[in-house]
Amino acid sequence: MGEFESRDEVISYLKSIGVEESLITSETVGDGSGDGGTHWRIESNGTEGVVVNNKTDGKTATAMNMSAFRITQSDVKFEILKVDSETGAVIGKSPVDNSSAVYGVYSDEACTRKVGEITIGSDGKGSVMLPDGRYYAKELKAPTGYEIDGTVYAISENQTTTVRETAEKGTIKVIKTAEDNIIRDIEFKVTGSDGSTYTKKTDSKGIAEFSGLKVYDMKTGELITYTVSEQNVPAKYVVPANQTVTLTADETTTKTFKNILKKFTLEVAKQDSETVSAQGDGTLAGAVYGIYRDGDLVDIYTTDENGYFKTKEYICGDYTVGEISPSEGYLLDESVYSVGADAGNFTLENNSVSMTVTEDVIKGNIAIIKHSDNGSTQIETPEAGAEFEVYLKSAGSYENAAEAVRDILTCDENGFAQTKLPTALTTPLYIWSIVS
C-alpha cells in the first residue's frame, strides 16, 4: 500500500485497522533498518490481514523480514454528500461535461497517508469501505465549473459527512473614460444569461469591478454570457454600445466604455425675403453672423457669394444665430435664430444642422416732376402725359432689364410720376436711366 516515515506511524496504522496491541511488538514491527535504508513498507492489506516488511533492501522480501497480522473486524462504510456552498443544492456530476468530484481519503489529518478514494455520483454522494477508524477526506479533483475545495473533512463510519463546493468565479472590470473627464459615480449594470443582475458605480478613477461572478450556469451547463451596459447616460453623450463577455475562473476581464460628446456643424443659407436670390445690384455675400452659446458670442462667420456659410464642429448645447452686419443693399436682420442643437435632439456623435435666414432688401422710390416752358415767359407749366423709362442701369437698356427692375412712369396733370411701391425698382442701390 505504501511506505511510512517512522515506526510510530506503522503502529498507528495497524491500530486503526483493528490489530490488537499485544500483537504489535519489536519483533513484528522492527526498527525499519535494512540494506535498502531505514523504512517501513506495507505490501498489502484487506480483511484477511496485513504484511509489514520492515527489513528489506527494497528489492527482496523474505519470510524473515515480514510479519502478518489478522484483522478481526470487517470494513465499514464512510460516505460524503456534496452540496453547493452558497445555495445548499446537492452537486452530482457536472452538467458541463459530466465530470465528477474525487476525494482522497487519508488516515492522518495532514493528508499524507492516503488509504482510498471517493468518487461523487450523480446523486451527490460517494463512499468507500475501510476498516473502522478515523479518516479524513480532501478533494483531489473538482467537477468542471467548481473550484477545488481545500478543506480537510473528518469522516466517520456509517455517517454521511457533508462537504461543500464553490462555483468557479471571475471578475469584470469596467474602465470609464469621457471626453469631458467626468468619470466618477457612473452607474453600470451587468446582466447574466442566467438571469442574474448586478449594479455598481465607478470610483474616482472611473473603475467599477464586479467580482464573484459565476463562470457557468449549472442549470444548463453553459458558460454564462454577461452583458455590460451603462445606465442613465446623460443626453450630452452618445449612448455607448452594450458589451458582452464570458468569464474564465479566477481571471479578470476588462471592458472600456468611453463617453463621447455629441457634436454638430451648422450650415446657414441666406435668402432675400421676397425673391430668394438677391435683388437688383444688392448682394447676399458679405453678411456677418455671430454664433452664440447660452447668449455668449462664440464665433463669427461671413456669407459667401451664395449667401452661405458652414461652421466648424461644436459640442451640442443651446446655440443661436444672429446677424451682426448685413450684406450690401440689405437691412440688418434683428431676428435671433435658434439652432436646435440641444444634445437631446441627436443620438450620434457627429450631426449636421441647416437653417435658412432671410433678409429684407433696402427700398426707396423714384419720383419725378415734369414741367416745361416756352423759353420766353420763364413760367414752368406741368407737362401731363410725359412718359419715362426707368430701369436698372447695369442692365444696359429697358429691353434688357428684368421685369422686376424696370418701370414706365407717366406724369399726371401736375407733371408728377413715381415708381410703384413696394417694388425692387425703388431701391436706392439701383442706378436708373430716365428716358423721356
**Residue 362 above 50 pLDDT?**
yes
**406-420 tens-digit pLDDT:** 888 888 988 888 877
The pLDDT value given to residue 425: 42
- In angstroms, rounded to a whole number, what is the distance separating the alpha carbons of residues 284 and 270? 7
Residue located via cell numbers 432671410:
358
> What single DSSP character describes residue 275?
T
Let me know if 219 is exposed, middle or buried by CB neighbors in 10 A (0-12, 13-18, 19+). exposed
Residue located via cell numbers 531505514:
38
- The whole-model pTM stands at 0.68
What is the second-level CATH architecture of the domain 75-165? Sandwich (2.60)
Tally of CA atoms within 13 A in the half-sphere of 6 that contains its CB: 3
Q: Give the residue-averaged pLDDT of 50-58.
A: 50
- In angstroms, rounded to a whole number, what is the distance separating the alpha carbons of residues 303 and 2? 98
* Domains of the chain, residue spans: 2-69, 75-165, 169-259, 263-359, 367-435
**Which residues are registered as beta bridge partners of 264?**
314, 351
For residue 236, give the nearest of 378, 386, 351, 343 by alpha carbon: 343
Q: What is the CATH number of domain 169-259?
A: 2.60.40.10
**379-397 tens-digit pLDDT:** 778 888 888 888 777 777 8
The two domains 75-165 and 263-359 share their CATH topology (first three levels equal): yes
The class of domain 263-359 in CATH terms is mainly beta
Q: Give the residue-averaged pLDDT of 97-105.
A: 97
